[in-house]
Every structure is written in C-alpha cells, then in structure tokens.
Structure 1
Amino acid sequence: MRASRLLSLLLLLQTRGMMTAPEIARELEVSVRTVYRDVEALSAAGVPVYADRGPAGGYRLLDGYRTRLNGLSAEEAASLFLAGLPGPAADLGLGEEAAAAGLKLLAALPPEPRSHAARMRERFHLDVPGWYRQADEVPHLGVVADAVWDERPLRMVYRRWGPREVERIVHPYGVVLKGGSWYLVAGADGGGPRTYRVARIVSVEPLPGRFERPEGFDLAAYWQEWSADFRRRMYTAEARLRLAPGAEPMLGLSAGQDVAEAALAAAGPPDADGWREIVLPVESLRHGRWVLLRMGADVEVLGPPELRKLMEEAIADLAALYGVRPD
C-alpha cells in the first residue's frame, strides 16, 4: 500500500511540478505528517526531491528528472489500452500519435505488465457508436479541437433544427463524445455555455486573439447537468399503461432502458393476472404511439385519452391494411 502511495507521490510531482505538503495530502487522501514521511522515504531511496522554503515554496523534483513507467501494475497498464479509443483519436487527428504512444508504452513496460497489456489490446475492442447508426461525419472537429486547446475564438455557421443556418462567434471550452456523436461546449460574450453538435457545423474559422476561459469551469460537471436537463426537456408527455407480465425487456428495447427502469421502479404491484400499471415518459404523444405500437398486445394504453385515440386509429389503419374486418 505504501509503495503504491510513494509512486503516486512521485508521479504527482513529476506531472504537476511544485506542490505543497497540504496539496499533496489532499490528492493522496493522507495526513500532512504522512506526506513528510513519504518525502523522506523517496529521498532516502535516491529520488531527488527538494523542498523550497517560504510562503511560495513546496516540494519539487530536480529539473529534468523523469521516472520510468515500471511502477505500473499489469492491470493498470492494461487499463491504459482500454482508455485509448482509436476511432475518437483519429477523429481528433491524433490517430498516428495514439498508435505511437501505445507502442512507446509497451516498450517502456517490464515483461509481465507488457504481456498483460498486449493481451488486453488483442482481446478487447471498444466500439463507441450504437447499433444501426453511423458515427457522425465531423470534418471540422480538428479545427474545433485546436481552438479548444489554444483558447481561440471561432466564427462558425451552424445548422439548427428546421433546418436553419445561423452564424455564431463562440469561445470553445471543450468537446464531448457521446454515443458516437461529438459535441462542442462553448460560450459567447454575454452568455453562459451552450452545446453544439459538431456534425451540424457547416463551416468554421479560428479568429485572432484568445479568450479567457471561465475560472473553475468543469466540463464533466457541465455535461452531466446539461444531459440531465436535456432529458427532462425531451420528455414532454406521459403515457399511463398496463404492462403484460414478462414484457419488461421489450419495454426497455422500445422506450430506452433507463426510462423503462425508472418507470418500472415507480410502478405498483402486479394485479391478479400479473399486469402492472406504469407511467412512462414519452417525447410526445405521437412519439409515444410509435414506441408503444412496437410492443403489440403486451401493453394497453389507459391514458391520456388523446394517446389512446391515436392508438385506436393506428390499429384501425393496420387492420384495414391487412384486410382484417372487425367482428
């Protein structure tokens, strides 16, 4: 346990430069006294750790000192290859660099972790896009990513729903890959961050100068909050249903697994025949009709009346199409 903590301390100093003892303690979740002891242990082992005194001081490594990657466990080394997705790296224009980094990592590892990592790469492949859909075409992603990195504003023509094209000058804060689609999170003068689908960017050009990134902006936290709000806005209606016994898996396939699980978790107990009443969020009543028709006789719409009417009309149209006459 202590050996792993000493390696973490060494890598912290190597990647971040000078750090105070309290900063190190927070990162490693230990006491400041433990940090003092660990620094002494590293120094005794020959690692050139130096302490700069004074209010602006802290611990740092001798300039130019770099440790090797032989402190990685076999599992840690293997996990790095699962983290390196070749498709997204290629989208960002880093396909060759990612491949080269993988080769260098393998070469730097001792035999056992190297063998474990190589087996991981041979036996596991991560394919980001969902079934029955292609990944977005993103010819402008490289320009967007460069602007994110360099903190340069962008002028872009963006195709909104409609379709309607608008011109925007934005400050790109970050990019997110979600389900095979790339999104740009960007702000503009006088407004907070907004989300743009990169595939809908018609044209883009970097502008001179740089923008000031908002202090403390957390891309992951923003995306989590935006995603939750997007889902709330997407489901504008509810369908009250009776669900046949054993139809839960089909409900997940038709309505989405997370939506179905939430609806089932809030449902009451089954009746004497095993049917359960549930309330299912849907994007709209017409979209709800499409979702529920896929389930056939395993679901009955109880309300609202408008949705039940839409189901009746659709069933009548199907009966006429297949020549079924009502009794």
Structure 2
Amino acid sequence: MFNVTHARHLQIIQMLRGHDHVPARTLADHFGVEIRTIQRDITQLAAHGIAIESLPGVKGGYRLAGEDPIHPLTFDSEQALRLYVLGLLDHNADHTGEDRLPAAGVSQSVREVMRRINTRFHFDTADWYWRGKGSGHLAVLRTAVLTDTALEIVHRTKDGRQETSVLKPLGMVWKGGEWHMVAAPPNAAPARYRLNLIDRVRPTDLSFPYPEGFSVRAWWDEAMEEFGKGDTRVELAVAATARDELLRLSLKKNSEVVLHDDGGASIVLYVDRWDWLIPLVASYGPDVTVIGPDDLRQATATHLATALAAYGPPPAPAPPQPARPAEDDSRLRANYGRAPEEQPQ
C-alpha cells in the first residue's frame, strides 16, 4: 500500500521546487492537515538530508536552501525524488551504506547515484540552525564527491597561513549553518575542511577508489564525539531557568549530569581547553556559574567585570531648565526686532 505520508512529502518538495517559498498555512490547506503536521513533515525531510530553510514572520514559510548538495539533475527526475522520500535515504539506519531499494522499476544507475548520496552527504541536525551561508565551491566539490575525483585546494590554516593540498573528497556535511568537506590526503586519515576557509578548488585528472564501507555520517559522529575532549574537568552549576536549554547542547558521552530537586542541575565536562566556555557561561548571566576549575571561574568573573565596566556609571541627569514666561521675546530679540517670517531667505 502506498504510504500517504511519503506521498505528501513528495508533493511538498515539488511545491517548494516550484516557488521561492511556500507558507506553512498554504501547505496545510493544500493537504487538508494541521500546521503541526506540516512542521513534522519538514523536520522529517530535513532529517533525511533535504535542505529546507524556515522563513520567520507572517509572510514566511519554507523554501529549499539555495545550495542543496544534491545535483538538480538528480532531483529533477521524478523517479529519483520518489525513491528519496519513500525512505531511501534513511539517516537513522545503520552506516553500512546498504540501501533498502525496491527492486522493481529502479535502474542500476539510479541505485548507484542514490547509494552515493546516502553515504556521502550528511546533515548534522544537532544544534540545528541556518545561517544561509553559501559557498561558490559547492558545485565543484559535489561533483568531485560523486565521481571520486581528487581535488587540489588552497585553504587557510588556523594561524592564517595558506596551504595547498591534494585531497580525496569523501563527503560533505552541513553543521551549524556551515558546510564542511570530509577528505583524506594521500596515505593519511580523513579530516574535515570548512568550506569558508577554502580559497580555491581545482579538480584534477586523478581518480581514487572510494574506501569500502565508509560512511560520512559514521565518521562525522565519531569526529564530533572526540572533538574538544580532554582531561580538564569543568563543573557548572545550572539554575532551573537555564537547565533545559543547556541540556540541549551536544554533550559528550563522558559528560556527567546530576538533576536537582529544585529544577537545577550540575554538569561536569571533560575538555581539552576551557577558554571557549567563558562567553557561553557569561551569556547565561547568574543562571550558569562555574564551580571549577578556579582559573576558569576567575576568567569568567573578569570577563563579566570587564563587560560591566564598559557601560560605566549612568550619565548624570541634565539640570532642569527654567521655563520661559509666556511673554518671552528672546527669539524676537535674537532676530534684531524682526519676526521670523521677515528674515531674509
């Protein structure tokens, strides 16, 4: 039996492809469902890798992101699009890259294209938000990823230097409003490269065998779990007013959380360095305080004191001016006895 939800997903994407944006109310009325249903549909489509941007406001709604990682020629095919929304790209499945494709009516070429898309493009929806930042390199990188073509790139390092590297592009990841390329130098392990730090890209005439069984999502999840881990223990005291929001942040598996009866919480993190926590903690004001280490606690206090000092004492109120009597003729006297309308132009 044809799945009604999947059919609605297909039609939603077709409507978004044909308009600059479509209001949520328009979609709900078209399908005869509640707006909450449309919101769930959009969330499911985004989780499956379709880049849909939310537009706030009365005239807002939804639109396809300007730089969808999937080549338009692929999704202009009704057959490929239908395979997509019928659950082909199930990012909640295992990471082996094995697709549950229906056998009837699906060509081997379509199967291969969709398999590559499934394993090589990933939307990390943790801390989900959209910055709308594009990259002029995305079309070239997308083609290289799908065709196993090596790239020569010029990119900036953390200390501002430019480096030229030859890389094997393995996939693309959208994280926190920015694109990242997962790529491997020759005879080296994969690494991530932020697209906004890549200055130039040139496809080479070299091809490479894609590593068997490699999944970008599996690699990315592991990389994000290890990123920032260390031996420095940080303990935070969180008030009830900030607990839910803070717990929505991406905590590591070795983080420790203790919930208190008053609605607050204690959170212990193990990080490689703590300086990045200063603005985060400060943004919560008195709702999040540092228990330790002492260096972080003192640095946060200094940060807050410096911010407070930047405002300085409030300006003294201006002394009250005596009211002029009703018969005050000072304006007339300043005009040498002539009324304002008599002044020369």
**Is the TM-score greater than 0.5?**
yes
Equivalent of residue 239 in structure 2, options 225, 241, 244: 244
AA aligned to 2:180 is Y
Structure 2 gaps of 5+ residues are 14-44, 53-63, 83-122, 315-345
Corresponding residue for residue 213 of structure 1: 210
Residue 322 of structure 1: CA displacement? 3.8
Percent identical across equivalent pairs? 25
Counterparts of 1:291 and 1:89, CA distance in 2: 31
Q: Residue 251 of structure 1 contacts residue 295 of structure 1 at CA under 8 Å; is this kept in 2?
A: no
Q: Residue 243 of structure 1 contacts residue 278 of structure 1 at CA under 8 Å; is this kept in 2?
A: yes
**Does 2:180 match 1:179?**
no
Corresponding residue for residue 27 of structure 1: none
Name the SS for the 1:225 alignment partner: helix
Q: Residue 153 of structure 1 contacts residue 207 of structure 1 at CA under 8 Å; is this kept in 2?
A: yes
TM-score (norm 1): 0.56
Residue 102 of structure 1: CA displacement? 8.5
CA 99–231 in structure 1, closer or farther in 2 if over 3 Å, else same: farther
Residues 153-187 of structure 1: CA deviation (Å, up to 9, x unaligned): 11111122222211111112222223332222222
Within-5 A mapping of 1:227-238: 227-232=224-229, 237-238=232-233
Counterparts of 1:104 and 1:306, CA distance in 2: 54
Q: Residue 278 of structure 2 contacts residue 299 of structure 2 at CA under 8 Å; is this kept in 1?
A: yes
Q: Residue 282 of structure 1 contacts residue 288 of structure 1 at CA under 8 Å; is this kept in 2?
A: no
Higher share in helix: 1
Residue 104 of structure 1: CA displacement? 8.4
TM-score (norm 2): 0.53
Name the SS for the 1:297 alignment partner: helix
Aligned length: 226
Name the SS for the 1:285 alignment partner: coil
Within-5 A mapping of 1:255-294: 257-259=249-251, 266-267=257-258, 269-270=260-261, 276-280=265-269, 284-294=273-283
- The CA RMSD over aligned residues, in Å, is 3.8
Q: Residue 148 of structure 2 contacts residue 207 of structure 2 at CA under 8 Å; is this kept in 1?
A: yes
Q: Residue 92 of structure 1 contacts residue 145 of structure 1 at CA under 8 Å; is this kept in 2?
A: yes
Corresponding residue for residue 98 of structure 1: 75
Within-5 A mapping of 1:13-28: none
Structure 1 gaps of 5+ residues are 1-70, 106-125
**Does 2:298 match 1:309?**
yes
Residue 222 of structure 1: CA displacement? 1.7
Q: Residue 154 of structure 2 contacts residue 199 of structure 2 at CA under 8 Å; is this kept in 1?
A: yes
Residues 208-239 of structure 1: CA deviation (Å, up to 9, x unaligned): 14212223323332222222222536xx7443
Larger CA deviation: 89-98 vs 305-314: 89-98
Name the SS for the 2:190 alignment partner: strand
Residue 300 of structure 1: CA displacement? 3.5
Counterparts of 1:104 and 1:258, CA distance in 2: 32
Residue 302 of structure 1: CA displacement? 2.4
Corresponding residue for residue 323 of structure 1: 313
Counterparts of 2:290 and 2:244, CA distance in 1: 18
Q: Residue 238 of structure 1 contacts residue 282 of structure 1 at CA under 8 Å; is this kept in 2?
A: yes
Q: Residue 151 of structure 1 contacts residue 213 of structure 1 at CA under 8 Å; is this kept in 2?
A: yes
Corresponding residue for residue 76 of structure 1: 6
**Does 2:164 match 1:167?**
yes
Counterparts of 1:187 and 1:152, CA distance in 2: 12
